[in-house]
Structures are given as C-alpha cells and as structure tokens.
Amino acid sequence: MKKLYILSPVEIGEIKEEIYGHFTEHIGGVFYDGLWVGEDSDIPNTDGFRLEIIEKLKQLAPPVIRWPGGCFAEIYDWRDGIGPREKRPVRINWWQANDGRTESNAVGTHEFIHLCKLVGAKPYIAANITSATPLHIRDWIDYCNSENKKTSFALEREANGSSEPFKVTYWGIGNENWGGGGHMRPEYYADEFRRYSEIAHNADPSIKCFACGPNAADYEWTRRFFAQYTDTPLKRTLRIDGYAMHYYCGNTGNPLEFNDSGWYQQLTQAQTMDRILNRHWSYIKGYGMEEKAKLVIDEWGCWHPGGSGPSKGYNLFEQQSTIRDGMVAAMTLNIFNNNADKIIMANCAQLVNNLHSLFLAGGKNCIVTPTYHVFDMYKGHQGGRALKTADNCGRIEYINLRGERASIPALSSSASFKDGMLTLTVCNSSCTDEAVIEIEPVGMKIYGEAKVTLLADEDYHAYNSFEEPDRVKTISYTFDSDTQKYIKIPKAGIMSLCVAAQREE
C-alpha cells in the first residue's frame, strides 16, 4: 500500500506568510491593462485597479507584492510616479526594445501602495542601484516612511494625498545585478550592497534590505558575494536581512504542446529548485550568515516562449498556463514549505499577463489560471508550522526530451499545523495513473471531517481561456478521517486536505 507519513515530531519551522507572495513589474501587460485600467474606464474598477482581480486576489490573502521590477526597477526614477497623474512624464520603459512600449507612470508609489492596501498585502519595493545614487533611494524611503510632517518629503507625500506613512519594510537593493542590473561582479555588488543598504537604513533603521543573490544554479555568485561581503573586521555589524535568488523553469518549448516527456521534464525542473536553494544555503551557512541572510526567492515560475497568452504576443512574456504550470506551482510551494527554516519570502513571477501568472486579463475579460487555484488551495499553509512528510511511493522513470533516462519522485507533498488544523498538500506526478494513498500521521491524531480540494483534468494540456474561463477549476468534498483510510489523487492531480488535528506533546 502506498503511504504518506506526516511526521509531527519533525518540525521544520514556521512557514512565513511572505512565501506566498507575488510580483508585479512594469512590463508588457502586467499593469496596463492587466491590473490598471484607470479610474475612467468602463471596466469595473476600484480607484483604477481592475475590480475582478482585486476581489479574487483578496481571497488568496496575498501577504506581499514586489514592485516595480524586475529589470524595470533598474531604470526607475520614483519621482516620475508621484504627483498629479496628468503631469507625470512618459519615459522609455526598460523593455522598450522588446515591445516598443513606453511607461506612462500612471501607476507610481501611491497607486502601488493603494493596490497593496486594497488586497491586504505588504509592499516590497525593488530599488534602483544601477542608475541611481544611494541618496536617491534614501529619499524614496524618507518619502514613504517618514512620519507625518517630519521631513519635506513627508510633507510632499501629504500634498500628494497621503499624510500617513506607507511603512514599506521590505527593500530590494537592486535586481539581477549579475545581469541587466549592471553586469556587476559579485565582489563589486557586495561592496555596493554595503554602501546602499547603509544609506537606506539612514532614512528608516527599521527597514529590511535584501541583497541580490544568484541566477538559479550560479553558486559562484553566492560564494564570491559572501566571501567579499564578510571580509571585514566589523562582520558582526553587517546588516543583510535576506538574500534574493531567482529561478525559472524553462526550455521545454510551446507551453500548450507537450507530451509525457515534456510533462515530466518540466516537473523535474520544478523539483530542481530544492537542490539549488539548498546548495546556495550551504554557502550562506559556510560563511556564518544563516541567521541574517535567509533566502528570498523573489522571482520563480515557468518561463515559456511568449505568444501563447490571450494577447497573442502583444503583452511581452505573456504565456498561457496549463495544468502542468499549476503542477509546477504546487510542487514549488511544497518545496518552499519543506525548506521553511531557510526561506523568508518568495514571489511568483508575475501576477497578471506575464510569465507564470495567476490572472490573464484584457479589455473586459479576466480569467484565473490553474496557478491561481493552487495558491487558493495552499493558503492554509501560510503562517503554519511546517511538518516533515515522507512516503513510500518511489519514483517514476521517464525518457527526457534529450532521449536520456531520468526519474522524478511519484509524489510531492508538504504539511503544516496551525490553530488546531492540519493542512496537507500532495501532487501526483504521474500523468498516466491515479494515486491511492493512505495518510498516516505520526505523533499526531487527525479527526473529524476533512475538506479535500482537487485540481485535475483528464487532459494535462487543459487551461482557462477567455472563451472557456472555467475549464480548469477545483472540486471539493469531505472525507471522514475517522472512518475512511484511502484517498485518491487523479493522474496529474493536486490535492489539498484540511482537517482538525492534535499533536502529541
């Protein structure tokens, strides 16, 4: 019999709510006309933001949203996005060479903060260090966080409509500085990080500054960054509040056309997140920085060739999301939960009309993707204590797209405990067979009716579109955990289970 054990005595740590975060960049159709339709639009909106997205996003209890980039952050001048909207300048967008689009600055700091308030999320701002000075960033922090009337920037903020400080705690010091953010060497960036974060704290000592970490498996970036960063007699005074890495799964071709090999290969790429983050973590520990430099995975998701989304390529990087993308999201979130002791934040890239999106919108149309459903099914994990899971389900062998033998775990799972409830999420990797499993809690009793939610479709290519908005949706049912033993997860299916539980002392 296939068994899934929930090992209550093996507690991993708290699953920080921020692990369920999102990312919104000024790129393609993320804001214009994804999130932002403008106050005068005949598309239902709240203060310019698309109402349907606001309402549905709120249901996910989104903890944090990262903004304004991405690469866009590295040319962004925050002063362009404040003051009367009609007077704001139109600028060259970072991505102009790709899509010819300019930046209207209709959405700036006040609008972004308002978006966060509307959905109950904390703001996370990625600051420009490639083309702006430390003082420029300090002034932005002053503008956002200084108490009412304390400084000239606070007065300007009030004149622009907000006497209350924005209280932005999370600040990214640059973005991808190994690439678009200045093609810096890790040693150079480490020095820049010290300089910028020192000055940033001058405006508000309570903020948290995240350093730019590596692209995926670039372990040299991590090794060299920490070697340089910690090379100071004042090591104990160093202030780094998080280390931000990016990892995208890609290179499996058209997201709508794949076979079993493409299914398993994409899932294998998702599973690789575990190895990559753990290897970076061992360098962080090796340099004695594990208490200060926890991981922030502020861009993650699938990166397919563009053009498969509803705008047919008009919105840069916009892609459709199938059941397979939902499965990547579910497995990735399981990995984050299972590494909850190392990760303080993660942001799925990106929220609307872009890479691994939760929403696709254009004109009056707005749909959710399978990844939206996954975030909904997993939200019970936020703030819970992560418990280790184990199974005896083995691995699935397959031939990858290069014709080589490969394998992947048959199940991916994670569990957490919060307020007397157990949340368990399980993915069945097999695209051919359902999984029938017995759930066995160890050091814990589960009781009463469990709520089970499933996301699955007979066809793993299934996706939602403007024409068929609810093709992929969840179904829920109850499971009597006192009398029933086995649970079925359809092929290529994702399950969440929520049940009352008592842990042994």
What phi-psi label fits residue 357: left (phi over 0), alpha (psi between -120 and 50 degrees) or beta?
beta
Q: Does the annotation count 103 as an active-site position? A: no
CA 452, 387, 323, 124 torsion-angle sign? positive
- Return the number of the residue (308 or 382) whose C-beta is nearest ligand AHR: 308
Does the annotation count 468 as an active-site position? no
Among 139, 299, 325, 391, contact with ligand AHR (rule: CB under 6 A)? 299
Give the integer Cα–Cα distance in Å for 199 and 193: 10
Residue 309 binds ligand AHR, judged by CB under 6 A: no
What track of x and - describes contact with ligand AHR for positions 98 through 127 (by CB under 6 A)? ------------------------------
Angle at CA of residue 329, ends 324 and 334, nearest 5°: 125
Task: Report CA dihedral (20, 110, 243, 204) to the nearest 10 degrees.
Answer: -130
Cα 243 to Cα 17, 85, 277, 343, 469, distances in angstroms? 17, 35, 11, 9, 38
Q: Which is nearer to ligand AHR, 26 or 201 (CB)?
A: 26
Q: Is residue 358 within 8 Å of residue 22, measured between CB atoms?
A: yes
Q: Among 34, 70, 186, 380, which residue sits at the site for ligand AHR (rule: CB under 6 A)?
A: 70
Q: Which is nearer to ligand AHR, 25 or 391 (CB)?
A: 25
**Within 144-183, which residues bind ligand AHR (CB under 6 A)?**
175-176
Q: Can residue 69 be called a binding residue for ligand AHR (CB under 6 A)?
A: yes
Which residue in the shown chain puts its C-beta closest to ligand AHR?
70
Written as one letter, the residue type at 123 is P
Alpha carbon distance 138, 397 (integer Å): 53
**Contact pick of 30, 71, 302, 335 for ligand AHR (by CB under 6 A):** 71
Q: How far is the CB of 355 from ligand AHR (least distance, A)?
A: 5
User: Cα separation of 321 and 370, whole Å?
Assistant: 7
Report how far residue 192's alpha carbon sits from residue 455's, in angstroms, rounded to the nearest whole number.
45
- Interface pattern 13-42 for ligand AHR (x via CB under 6 A): ------------x-----------------
Catalytic pick from 52, 74, 299, 318?
299
How many residues belong to the site for ligand AHR (CB under 6 A)? 10
The set of residues, in sequence order, having a beta carbon less than 8 Å from that of 450 and lying 6+ positions away, is 478, 479, 480, 481, 497, 498, 499
CB closer to ligand AHR, 173 vs 396: 173
Q: Is 128 in the site for ligand AHR (CB under 6 A)?
A: no
Q: In 3D, which of 318, 348, 319 has the Cα closest to residue 256? A: 319
Q: How many CA atoms lie within 13 A of 53 on its CB side?
A: 31
CB nearer to ligand AHR: give 355 or 396. 355
CB 78 within 8 A of CB 144: no
Q: Which stretch binds ligand AHR (CB under 6 A): 63-71, 185-193, 199-207, 271-279?
A: 63-71
Phi-psi region of 302 (alpha: psi -120 to 50; beta: other; left: phi over 0): beta
HSE-CB for 168 with a 13 A CA cutoff: 31
Smallest gap from Cβ 248 to ligand AHR, in A, equals: 7
Q: Which is nearer to ligand AHR, 304 or 379 (CB)?
A: 304
Residue 380 C-beta: closest distance to ligand AHR, Å: 28
Q: How far apart are CA 452 and CA 462, in angstroms?
A: 21
47 φψ region: left (φ > 0), alpha (ψ -120 to 50), beta (else): left
Q: How far is CA 455 from CA 86, 245, 326, 491, in A?
A: 45, 29, 9, 10
Beta carbons within 8 Å of 448's beta carbon, 6+ residues apart: 480, 481, 482, 499, 500
- For residue 474, the minimal CB distance to ligand AHR (Å) is 27
**Cα separation, 354 vs 358, whole angstroms:** 9
Question: Which part of the chain contacts ligand AHR (CB under 6 A), choosing from 44-52, 68-76, 194-202, 418-426?
Answer: 68-76
Measured from the CB of residue 287, what is the shortest distance to ligand AHR in angstroms?
25
List the interface residues with ligand AHR, window 348-387 (CB under 6 A).
349-350, 355
Shortest distance, position 172 Cβ to ligand AHR, whole Å: 10
> Whose Cβ is closer to ligand AHR: residue 69's or residue 384's?
69
CB of 347 to ligand AHR, least distance (A): 10
Cβ closest to ligand AHR, residue 350 vs residue 464: 350
Query: Residue 424 CB, nearest distance to ligand AHR (Å)?
Result: 31
Please pick, among 74, 176, 192, 318, the residue that the annotation labels catalytic.
Answer: 176
Q: For residues 196 and 303, which CB has a smaller minimum distance to ligand AHR in the complex?
A: 303
- Beta carbons of 285 and 225 less than 8 angstroms apart: no
Shortest separation between residue 175's beta carbon and ligand AHR, angstroms: 5
Partners of 359 in beta bridges: 352, 368
Residues designated as active site: 176, 299
Tell me which residues touch ligand AHR (CB under 6 A): 25, 69-71, 175-176, 299, 349-350, 355
